Amino acid sequence: MDSKNHSKQKKIAVIGAGAAGLVAAFYALEKGNQVIVFEKNEIAGKKLRITGNGRCNFSNADLSFVHYEHYSDCEGADFPDSNTSEHDLHIISSILEKNGRDEFIAFLNKCGIPSFEKNGYFYPLSERAGELCDLLVKVLRRKGVTFRFGCNVREILRNTDETFNLFGEKYHSLILACGGKAAPSTGSDGGGFKLARSFGHSVSFTYPVLVPLYSDPALLRTVSGVRIKAKAFGIVDGEVLSSDSGEIQFTDTSVSGIPVFQLSRHLTRAIEEKRDVRIRVDVLPDLSKDRTEEYINNRKEALGPVSFEEFFEGIFPKKYYEMLLLRFEEFEKNTRNKDSESVNDFFDLEQREEAFIDFAKNFEFQISGHAGFENAQCTRGGVLLSEMKESLESRLVPNLYIIGEMLDVDGDCGGYNLQWAFSSGKTVGDEV
């Protein structure tokens, strides 16, 4: 580095060696800065290492800001309502447009990491998140980034000349990349929010998202271990808020799978507020109501005369079908008790078959809770985007930057949150 560049060199502190922090450090260093990364764990990217079940799905072919949400809904919070949707959405879309998937792939290539796409999802060629983390640290170290592992930053002082004092050293810029609260065993315990608050920033309520949801254990035990392709609807107080399709998984205590994780982004707050939350599971999503009669006739022609219980065998997993039959019988009894006029409907075999299909398409699981931050992939809420510039520099404190999961932004499953970590990290790394 020549003397001219050296005279302009700034000292940058990055708090957190997760995905966002590593990317920010890379690009801040490329600008000729001195970069020191502080990480409470003994290794980098502890949460990144488990991303995508360890395969590291880092982006998606459909990279649109509509897959992201911000939650600057401050009702009942400890600060005034500063919800500025247009400002927030502009920041998200602008950052993704300038530093999107292609820029992420270019970054990986610079680090010697090839990648590939499968069914719209992007992965490193090795499909090993841990190896990707180790390689990134090697590259950054070789380029000149200093890592201080096992260093838990609890306090940062502000100097009168608008620099920062950290462990007795002076830094020109500070990048907070501490993560949110999801997966606290990896170090994301919300400590970064305390640091942000110490500089006057507001943090919206935080909730675990992309998380399994709890339901009636007695019901779930009957379908535990089942995986079924279906369309799921998230319902709060009778209103359908969102839907998603894919494989739903059942355990003794929870409902999970990507569709449920997606729905959880819209449900966990309502769950904590003790509202009526349900997930409706349609196991025949491609069968419309006007095709039901045709479907039943085709089934009869194929099977011949069989009992009602045998009629739908082989369509659903056995345990799930047995659960539906049992619950349908209960539904019939309750209907007869409530409305004597409907009794004859259920004695008509064809109408009973149609009623069962409708029942299977609209079966609801009452949701009683969520599996908490310990089992969540992401945090809903965080530092308000309305308090950040488009460069992700604080509007309150010059030379303070906040990135990644610390911000009031979260995305769908499918690489969106890791893409946001990269996009926000590169935005700030290019800026400092």
- Environment class of 77 (CB within 10 Å of its CB; exposed 0-12, middle 13-18, buried 19+): middle
Low-confidence ranges of the chain (pLDDT < 50): 1-7, 72-84, 342-346
| Secondary structure percentages of the chain, helix, strand, coil, to 5 | 40, 20, 35
120 three-state secondary structure = coil
Contact 350, 47 (CB under 8 A): no
Tokens of 342: 């409907």
Angle at 205 between CA 202 and CA 211, to 5 degrees: 135
So what's the pLDDT on residue 85? 63
pTM: 0.90
Contact 114, 124 (CB under 8 A): yes
So what's the pLDDT on residue 76? 34
Query: In one letter, which amino acid is 414?
Result: G
User: What is the per-residue burial (b if ≥16 Cβ within 10 Å, else e) of 37-69?
Assistant: bbbbbebbbbbbbbbbeeebbbbbeebebebbb
Distance CA 316, CA 345 (A): 25
Q: Which DSSP string do the residues of 169-188 spell out, in sequence order?
A: EEESEEEE----SSSGGGT-
Distance CA 256, CA 57 (A): 19
So what's the pLDDT on residue 341? 52
Domains of the chain: 3-207+379-431 (3.50.50.60), 212-371 (no CATH)
- Environment class of 22 (CB within 10 Å of its CB; exposed 0-12, middle 13-18, buried 19+): buried
Tokens of 182: 């999801």
The crossing angle, in degrees rounded to 10, of helices 349-361 and 292-303 is 120
Distance CA 76, CA 72 (A): 12
Q: Which residues does residue 59 pair with via DSSP β-bridges, in sequence order? A: 122
Distance CA 345, CA 363 (A): 20
Contact 406, 180 (CB under 8 A): yes
Distance CA 75, CA 69 (A): 17
Distance CA 44, CA 319 (A): 43
Question: How long, in residues, is the chain?
Answer: 432
H helix or E strand, kind and range, residue 356: helix 349-361
Tokens of 227: 């995986």
